[in-house]
Copies of this chain bind each other. A is one copy, B any other.
Amino acid sequence: MRMTTLLTKTAKTAPAEADSANAKFLLQGGFVRQEAAGIYSWLPLGLRVLRNVERIIREEMDALGSQEILMPALHPKEPWVTTGRWDNVDILFKVLSQTKKEYALGASHEEIVTPLVGSFIRSYTDLPVSVYQIQTKFRDELRAKSGILRGREFQMKDMYSFHRTQEDLDAFYQKTLEAYLSVYRRCGVDAKVVEASGGIFTEKKSHEFQVITPAGEDRILACSECTFAQNSEISSLTETDPCPNCGKTLTITKGIEAGNIFDLGTKYSEPFKIEFTDEDGTRKAVLMGCYGIGVSRLVGTVVEASHDDRGIIWPKSIAPYAVHLVSLSSKDPAINERVMTASESLVDELKEAGIEVFWDDRTGVSAGEKFADADLLGIPLRIVISEKALAQGGAEWKLRAGGDARIVPVEGVAEEIAAWVEEK
């Protein structure tokens, strides 16, 4: 993608309303645009990141054997009345049609998915089964805040599983917990699993995934030695107590909730009468679990956990592009032509290797401005082709994550870049 063709332009400064690092850099870099408080458009660079995160999540959910579906955002009122959540969920947007029919905008999909999957369950041989979707959610938050972390409209992956026995549900729950940790790892952040309250979903067990970062809004009580961690909201312990697990020191750190999983038991299968015939002929209520990752929120979480004062530092796995080629133009037309010809050859060579480059092909823009944009946009590998680099027989290679710049010979640079891109 040539920068001179790209729809968006970076802004010199972040908008005044940016209340967090993710809002600041994503808005300033032109990844997203705010349409209203808590409501964003995803622009070309941001959408590429979102799609990369979606792809990772999809691969992990498919590997669990879950089947992808797509449920609507507009929900009839009746199933929300059946579960008692029509009146009890205050963040539920409600819509009245011309024909005076009431709908909810899906804040979650238990009311839709339970009868849906239930309609295909007759006997224990139909269990277990699990479905997921990557879809738009709506929540009427009193205060939207923290950029794309707490929005009124956002992208979510929600998965629902249906089981014959508690043991089977427990096993799937544990497999999903591990798949979630794999999602965060692959997206370049480390998450801690903490016990949490079930909120509006369940009174049974639930776990949150907390990405530890000082920008976090949740306070996590974690053991300095073992894996014990609890959300301080529901913990009866404090920082002065010994770890109940190993006796060592508990400390408070801050985290961003980046996913949660719930054992729903029969909370939803009972009101919808979703039962199966067991081997012995008896009818039993299906056990359910639900598992959510805010996909757009995860993009924001990565920015919170991976940036410096100049901009974003994207992990290669979800970066909009792996390679940012900066061509430094010169006032001397002959030099300019050499720089642009060398740049174009590199773009073509990498294209043949299946690598699309983000190319700053702008002329009349200073080196300082180009480097500042590269730091802001946060693409992991920056390659500079300039008069100076060419005079040294090569191109400048620099990682956004840190380390010194070095000159690599122009011959073979495409292969070297391709090898680096493929590296895990």
A contact residues vs B (CB 8 Å cutoff): 5-9, 30, 33, 35-36, 39-44, 47, 50, 65, 67-76, 90-91, 93-95, 97-99, 103, 105, 112, 116-117, 119-120, 129, 131, 136, 138, 140, 142, 152-153
Residues of chain B contacted by A72 (CB below 8 angstroms)? 35, 39-41, 153
* Contact indicator A70/B90 (Cβ below 8 Å): no
The dominant DSSP class at the A interface is mixed
* Contact indicator B67/A41 (Cβ below 8 Å): no
Closest chain B residue to A90, Cβ basis:
B98
Nearest Cβ in chain B — how far from A286, in angstroms?
14
Instruction: Compute how far the CA of A236 lies from the CA of B91 in the bound complex, rounded to whole angstroms.
Output: 52
A-B contact pairs, 6 of them (CB 8 A): A35-B72, A44-B67, A72-B153, A74-B93, A94-B95, A95-B95
Residues of chain B contacted by A131 (CB below 8 angstroms)? 7, 44
Given contacts A44-B67, A47-B68, A69-B47, contact A36 B116 (CB under 8 A): no
Residues of chain B contacted by A69 (CB below 8 angstroms)? 7, 41-44, 47
Q: Pick the residue among B70, B98, B138 that contacts A74 (CB under 8 A).
A: B138
Nearest Cβ in chain B — how far from A267, in angstroms?
20
Instruction: List 8 tightest A-B contacts by C-beta distance, closest first.
Output: A42-B70, A36-B76, A41-B71, A44-B67, A74-B153, A39-B72, A72-B153, A7-B67
Instruction: Compute how far the CA of A68 lies from the CA of B136 in the bound complex, rounded to whole angstroms.
Output: 17
Instruction: Compute how far the CA of A272 lies from the CA of B35 in the bound complex, rounded to whole angstroms.
Output: 14
* Contact indicator B74/A152 (Cβ below 8 Å): yes
Closest chain B residue to A47, Cβ basis:
B70
Instruction: Compute how far the CA of A382 lies from the CA of B69 in the bound complex, rounded to whole angstroms.
Output: 25
Instruction: Compute how far the CA of A222 lies from the CA of B74 in the bound complex, rounded to whole angstroms.
Output: 39
Q: Pick the residue among B7, B95, B98, B153 that contacts A117 (CB under 8 A).
A: B7
* Contact indicator B7/A142 (Cβ below 8 Å): no
Given contacts A7-B67, A90-B98, contact A76 B39 (CB under 8 A): yes
Instruction: Compute how far the CA of A97 lies from the CA of B40 in the bound complex, rounded to whole angstroms.
Output: 17
Residues of chain B contacted by A73 (CB below 8 angstroms)? 73, 136, 138, 153
* Contact indicator A35/B70 (Cβ below 8 Å): no
Residues of chain B contacted by A30 (CB below 8 angstroms)? 120
Nearest Cβ in chain B — how far from A73, in angstroms?
6
Residues of chain B contacted by A41 (CB below 8 angstroms)? 69-72, 112, 116
Closest chain B residue to A129, Cβ basis:
B7
Instruction: Compute how far the CA of A67 lies from the CA of B103 in the bound complex, rounded to whole angstroms.
Output: 33
Select the residue from A7, A99, A112 with max chain B CB neighbours within 10 A: A7
Closest chain B residue to A36, Cβ basis:
B76
Nearest Cβ in chain B — how far from A65, in angstroms?
8
* Contact indicator B95/A105 (Cβ below 8 Å): yes
Nearest Cβ in chain B — how far from A118, in angstroms?
11
Residues of chain B contacted by A74 (CB below 8 angstroms)? 36, 39, 93, 138, 152-153
Residues of chain B contacted by A112 (CB below 8 angstroms)? 35, 41
Nearest Cβ in chain B — how far from A215, in angstroms?
24
Residues of chain B contacted by A90 (CB below 8 angstroms)? 98
Nearest Cβ in chain B — how far from A230, in angstroms?
31
Instruction: Compute how far the CA of A95 lies from the CA of B105 in the bound complex, rounded to whole angstroms.
Output: 10
Given contacts A120-B7, A131-B7, contact A50 B70 (CB under 8 A): yes
Residues of chain B contacted by A105 (CB below 8 angstroms)? 95, 105
